[in-house]
A and B are shown apart, each in its own frame.
Chain A
Amino acid sequence: MSDIVVEMEGISKRFPGVEALDKVDFSCREGEVHALVGENGAGKSTLMKILNRAYLQDAGKIMLRGQEVFLSGPKEAQDHGISTIYQEFNLIPELNVAENIFLGREIKKWKGFVIDPSCARKRSEELLAKLEADIDPRSKISELSVAQQQMVEIGKALSLNASIIIMDEPSASVSGKELDSLFRIIRSLRDDGKAVIYISHHLDEIFEIANRATVLKDGKLAGIVAVKDVDKQSIIKMMVGRPLAETFPRKERGTRKEILALKNVCRGKMLRDISFRAYSGEILGITGLVGSGRTELARVIFGADSFDSGEIYLNGQNIVKSKPKTSISNGVGYLTEDRKKEGLINNSSVRKNLTLLILEEIKKLLFINERRERSLAENCIEKFNIMTPSSEQEVQYLSGGNQQKVILAKCLNANPRLLILDEPTRGIDVGAKAEMYNLMRDLAKQGAAILMISSELPEVLGMSDRILVMHEGQIMGELSSSEATEENIMMMATGQTHGNRKIGETLEPEIP
């Protein structure tokens, strides 16, 4: 029988204005993959940050192997075998792989007088070989792909002889084959008797990998279940407190008019000979593996990057050289993939973020009309159901789903006719996802053209009226929503088949 390694009892934590955790219990056994699920803001990350002592709880106790512990800091948590792999990796970009793996506990020689890089390199090599990861320990982190960085993080956890490994949304940054090898590693860690705590939004993954799941809702414990005894619906019910099918709004279209047309657009190696059209009233899904050129395509259309050759027509007008500013005034809205980096002014208020694109409109003579700005912001908050204490709250303190709503509301304030959404539901919870889907469909019905870039196939299939599949900077083909399946999308996305139509010959969408 497996022993309980971690036990947390009655953990409470308050942040200014939020009860992040309220008397939560948690436990994890040796040789178990334990999933921690819950909507964004449910307190999953906070609970784990208390376990690894990045935060200190207000109440409650932590027991490791039956003994109550009082850890003084992340270092001591590490010494107790707790290791965390964060969603945003904690690697130093300018140091190399080996230096990162042994950061904070450098291998030394000459009685501890100097560090020993060659030994660190050798041991890193062994660790990475164990993970079957082909990474040179001398490479700088900044030269590695995201999946490789994740491997380095796992290697680092192993080098710590961690017995408790916390993985915060590990699948957010990898896809396809990389995800399979991640799962393979997790299984082998489990079989080695480690306790793996797996935080994720993706219920499919949880059913594939986890033994038990702890469900949190609004900082409270909603339930602990053995995964094999339950189904998705019952977990979703626990997470949101109401049954909520992962259903998509009915595909209804608005009036159809050509909004955007690309002809043979190229940009370096990232975009090769891209041609397609997008129409008002429909959602055009663009999918492909990470790095297939989807985001590059979005940036070129928005004018954030230039293109080398080809033509782009927006509302029938040839766009020669576009800048974000002209794109916005031409009615293009762009929701970026990386909220924190590109989408929000993090330390500014919700109000100021919401009105960033329309300052010209709310100007009174030379000054911003604050009263008008405030009422506009209040309207948005109500209309989009943004959960925030007030319009003055700094946007960085909102949950991921609410941040995403702020960005969408910000784009919509400028009345875009073409909306580019890059991974619109990444990192947001089931409830907020459903809200996003309904909003997107409403916008299409009202006559906007929507380009939805997504790696989540159920979402692509469920939302798109037409689907473009990209692979290595090319459009491999186009599928109507009736002919698309996960299989034929994956075949194209991995470059194994082309669509049966020639590239650039755009299929007429079915008229409902």
Chain B
Amino acid sequence: MATGKLERHLNLRFLKKNRTVIGVYLVLIVLFLFSSLMSDVFLTPRNVSNVLRQAVVLGFVSLGQTLVILTAGIDLSVGSVISLTSCLTAGTILGRDSLAIPAVGLVLALALLIGFCNGFFITRTGVPSLIVTLGTMEIIQGITLTYTDEPYGQISPNFGFLAWGQVGAIPFPVLLLAGSFALGIFVLRRRAFGRHIYAVGGNEEAARLSGIKTDRVKIYTYMICSFTAALTGLLLAARMGIGDPRAGEPFMLECLVPVLIGGTSLMGGKGGLLGTIAGVFILTILNNILNLMEVSGYWQWVVQGVIIIGAVAFYVKERE
């Protein structure tokens, strides 16, 4: 049958092209099955929604970070942006619902400005992104701690919707994350901007000579990255009800883990958001099940470290 043959050919092609992503999802499924077998609590609605809410926070930062890493850059300032956003939002709102929207507008605009500065300095001075964003990380952290060096402020009841709201049976933040990833995947695959991100990361000079404004592409990705970090900051503030100047610290490096597990290469140009979202869930479920199994938090670090090295070693081997 001619059509059958054609179909098989197409399927094979699909499998071959996406085998990295398929691999990550297989791992996720195995982990999910393992977790449901190991713990009776794992599949309770309460725990599931707990996992989802944790995944959301990590998900947003990792989304922006994936885009930056695809251009062969890195953004270490995300953690400090999260802290700043969370403090500034709670500190501005101070329990007043009327100020919720202006506060959100303010911090998101500020985040875009920070991202612009990162991108601008990286593209204009040629200083590696690692160093520029390390610098902005320290600057922002310093400013945040000057603003407040202990948890401060109070959110308003309506603002809490961001973290606790439900749309039907689905928590609002989960919907927001799903929408953001869907949009991100669409842009990467079907918009010229997405194609340009891969081109810049794959061979910047070639991209430039193809007429792509590579500097602009990079600046945009840093702006998106800061923006998604700010969303994480908003969610954390909404969840905790207060701004915490150290809320973002753990995210600085942790947001790299799902990106790397998801198969995006630090060298740029390879990978994508589909892998990252799986990486987010692998990491969250893993921490959750280790908690449920009463494994100490320190051991969770050990496991996480082994997984990062193992996953990346696997990708390197496969690409050879």
A interface with B by C-beta (< 8 Å): 52, 54, 73-75, 78, 84, 86, 89-95, 99, 103-106, 108, 113-115, 138
Contacts and interface: CB of A to CB of B under 8 A. Distances in A.
A92 B207 contact: yes
Contacts of B209: 52, 54, 74, 84, 86, 90
Nearest to A108: B192
Interface in B14-64: none
B195 A95 contact: yes
Given A54-B209, A90-B210, A104-B212, A95 B202 contact: yes
A74 B208 contact: yes
Contacts of A52: 209
B152 interface: no
A105 B190 contact: no
B266 to A, nearest CB: 14
10 contacts: A90-B209, A92-B199, A92-B202, A92-B269, A95-B198, A95-B199, A99-B195, A103-B212, A104-B210, A114-B190
Mostly helix, strand, loop or mixed at chain B's interface?
A: helix
Given A99-B195, A114-B190, A138 B13 contact: yes
B270 interface: yes
A106 B195 contact: yes
Given A78-B211, A84-B209, A103-B212, A90 B195 contact: no
B205 interface: yes
B86 to A, nearest CB: 35
A44 to B, nearest CB: 17
A12 to B, nearest CB: 23
Contacts of B199: 92, 95, 103-104
A109 to B, nearest CB: 10
A296 B109 CA distance: 56
B225 to A, nearest CB: 21
5 closest Cβ pairs, A-B complex? A75-B211, A90-B206, A104-B210, A92-B202, A104-B211
B191 A93 contact: no
A94 B210 CA distance: 16
Given A106-B195, A114-B190, A115-B195, A92 B203 contact: yes
A103 B210 contact: yes
Given A92-B206, A93-B203, A74 B192 contact: no
A75 B211 CA distance: 4
Most buried by A among B13, B199, B206, B207: B206
A93 B211 CA distance: 17
Given A92-B202, A103-B207, A106-B192, 19 more contacts: A52-B209, A54-B209, A73-B211, A91-B206, A92-B203, A94-B202, A94-B269, A94-B270, A95-B202, A103-B199, A104-B199, A104-B207, A104-B211, A104-B212, A106-B195, A108-B192, A114-B190, A115-B192, A115-B195
Nearest to B270: A94
A189 B207 CA distance: 25
A240 B198 CA distance: 44
Contacts of B270: 94
A101 to B, nearest CB: 10
A329 B295 CA distance: 53
A99 B191 CA distance: 12
A167 to B, nearest CB: 14
Interface string B185-207: 01000111001101100110111
Contacts of A104: 196, 199, 207, 210-212
Q: Which of B190, B209, B213 has the most CB of A within 10 A?
A: B209
Nearest to A91: B206
Nearest to B208: A74
Contacts of A103: 195, 199, 207, 210, 212
A270 to B, nearest CB: 15
A74 B195 contact: no
A79 B100 CA distance: 48
A175 to B, nearest CB: 24
Nearest to B213: A75
The residue among A75, A92, A105 with the most chain B CB atoms within 10 A of its own CB is: A92
Most chain B CB inside 10 Å of its own CB: which residue of A73, A104, A113, A138:
A104
A90 B210 CA distance: 8
Contacts of B203: 90-93
Interface in B205-246: 205-213
B195 A105 contact: no
B198 A94 contact: yes
B211 A74 contact: yes
Nearest to A110: B190
Contacts of A92: 198-199, 202-203, 206-207, 269
